[in-house]
Amino acid sequence: MSLLQISEPNQSKNPHQHRYALGIDLGTTHSLVSVVRSGKAGVLPFEHSPLLPSVVYYGNQSTTPLVGEQALAYADDLTNTIISAKRFMGRAKSDIKFSHPYQLAGSDKTMPAFITAQGEKSPVETSAHILKHLKNHAAAALPPDSIQGAVITVPAYFDDAQRTATKDAATVAGLTVLRLLNEPTAAAIAYGLDKNTTHGVYLVYDLGGGTFDVSLLRLSDGVFEVLATGGNSALGGDDIDRLLANWLIKTANLNPADIDNAEKSRLAKLAKQYKQALTDSDTVAIDINIQGQTLQTTLDNQTLSQIIEPVIRRTILACGQVLADAKIDKNTLNDVILVGGSTRMPVIRQAVQTHFGRTPLCSINPDEVVAIGASIAADQLVNQSNNALLLLDVTPLSLGVETMGGLVEVIIPRNTPIPVTRRQVFTTHQDGQTGMVVHVVQGERDTVADCRSLARFELHGIPPMKAGLARIEITYAIDANGQLTVSARETTTDVVSQIQVSPSYGLSEEQQEQLLKAGFEYAQADKAARMLIELKVDAERELIALNSALQEFAELLSDEQKQALADKMQAVQAAIAQDDKAVLDDALGKLKPHSDHFASVIMNKNVKDALAGTHTSDW
């Protein structure tokens, strides 16, 4: 039996309902979801690990996409198992210069789609499946309808297209995005709150599976300010695995160029295992077969350090650039914070310690620290905490406008704290000019050809006058999520034109519509799946309660009654495993008369015991 909650007249039926917000670390190789409960942030674990593999399977072995561990079981199906989709987010096909095993569809100037057995799947759709899996996992662990939204983390070096693609994926997954938060900033929140630091300058070194980010943050009187960011959105643990796999091939006296993608993928998995083994051991024995060649050797951390030196060097150079941008000497840093699963490697920690001359901070699990920080920020947003930290992120790349001759006039320089609004006045270059095209670009180069095009729009209604007399005020505004809005206004007529920048190589409106239609199309199926999960949970709770009652009150039932109850309980247990709501409903319906009878017998005994030995005068 369960307690029944009641409420007073004219009061909420759910007087103790909580508002939860999720912190989601949408990672290249693994993803996590965290939430603040009872004032403490914690990651919601899956069956075997808090880490959900960022893998989606679209093959013939399943009629629907499989996510996480289920998808990982088909990792050998290279074409249909999408791994590291984050690397493709918001990128034009022509931008993808790293090695991958996928067949891509689309033009060079648009974000490509993966060609799979289940059709063409964009990186946004793949990420949406991962986000939806995380959302459903959190919904099963929290009270119904209590999730108010999510803070989703992105690499600090993600440009506008990649951030837009991340928000699109969340929309398709049915998540309300409270904010996009830079991963290093999320890590700083976690460490800043735990250490209760009031001031200092920190460098966050974040080396994950597929991306590297470095951020320089100043923490002063509860205000996190990002002084500078840098990194590489296509550098991470996957590259370490590939370098080590190539070393294995060369050590076996073979040429990496002669090895096919399937064999390279197998060797990269083995390389990852050897890499992880060296986290807790100085040496690992290698005994593998590569295309008929047997390789028997040993690998130690010193050799590993030499093999992955190109990755280490590039991360240290990025750290130096960020310090130079902020005009900060590395010796003045208060601490260096390690984030990302790849920072578990002793060779990485040693390289960072040697360069900065200090032992880096790694007291919080580097795999979980970003998700934990995101959930803290999310909780503050939905519950309007008075202790909320002020977060001053920065724009990762300069934003400008094309001027005559294909030059770039920077409106918002790189590493400007956001949210921010900047205005600049321009004029016409031809007599009688009544319109102009505003071309928004992003990058650090002086010419448009060397920068990335974000958007174009037109302003009409400029009064015809001599060249140079018109005054066109162009405004760039970036909100807290990094969303850019550009407007142009002719000051004498007050004619205005504006655009919210959604880059041409991001998700098109047609693609958004298709994915949203798919969300509505499968809404009933999703609802049915949720109902089945809730019913299974209730059934399991019922069985636990009955087993507990049997241990204490079994003697109150006859042998026939006990056997009948046990048979019905066994039928419910079998129905739980069948994933069929009708079968489970039927099994629970047949169990109910027996469980109700058992409950009434127990209640009668308790009442009898309570009244035993009393007299009417006592009443």
Location of structure tokens 């309808």: 145
The strand pair at 223-232 and 390-394 is best described as: parallel
- Residue 209 is given by DSSP the state S
**Measured between alpha carbons, how far is 283 from 274 in angstroms, rounded to an integer?**
9
The 3-state DSSP class for residue 567 equals helix
**Measured between alpha carbons, how far is 331 from 333 in angstroms, rounded to an integer?**
6
CB atoms within 10 A of CB 560: 8
- Collect all residues with Cβ–Cβ distance below 8 Å to 255 and sequence separation of at least 6: 249
**Measured between alpha carbons, how far is 22 from 24 in angstroms, rounded to an integer?**
6
- Helix residue ranges per DSSP H, 434-522: 509-521
Torsion of CA 462, 464, 470, 471, to 10 degrees: -10
Instruction: Give, in degrees to the nearest 5, the angle at Cα 410 between 404 and 413.
Output: 170
What are the structure tokens assigned to 462, written together? Answer: 């400029």
Judge contact between 312 and 305, C-beta under 8 A. yes
**Measured between alpha carbons, how far is 72 from 533 in angstroms, rounded to an integer?**
23
CA dist 330 to 53, 60, 221, 229, 366, Å?
35, 53, 22, 15, 22
CA dist 351 to 205, 289, 301, 315, Å?
12, 32, 12, 10
- Report phi then psi at 431, rounded to 5: -65, 140
**Measured between alpha carbons, how far is 183 from 371 in angstroms, rounded to an integer?**
9
Question: Is 206 among the residues known to form the active site?
Answer: yes
**Measured between alpha carbons, how far is 424 from 102 in angstroms, rounded to an integer?**
44
Location of structure tokens 């009668």: 604
Residue of 125, 159, 160, 183 marked active site: 183
Residue of 159, 206, 393, 402 marked active site: 206
Question: Is 25 among the residues known to form the active site?
Answer: yes
Q: Sheet containing 407-412: which strands, arranged edge to edge?
A: 407-412, 399-403, 435-442, 452-460
What are the structure tokens assigned to 131, written together? Answer: 């986000």
Sign of CA dihedral 166, 168, 173, 177: positive
Judge contact between 344 and 279, C-beta under 8 A. yes
Instruction: Give, in degrees to the nearest 5, the angle at Cα 72 between 67 and 74.
Output: 105
CB atoms within 10 A of CB 306: 11
- Residue 29 is given by DSSP the state S
Burial 214-231 (b: 16+ CB within 10 A, else e): bbbbbbeeeebbbbbbbb
Judge contact between 218 and 225, C-beta under 8 A. yes
Element at 244 (helix H, strand E) = helix 237-251
> Active-site residue numbers?
25, 86, 183, 206
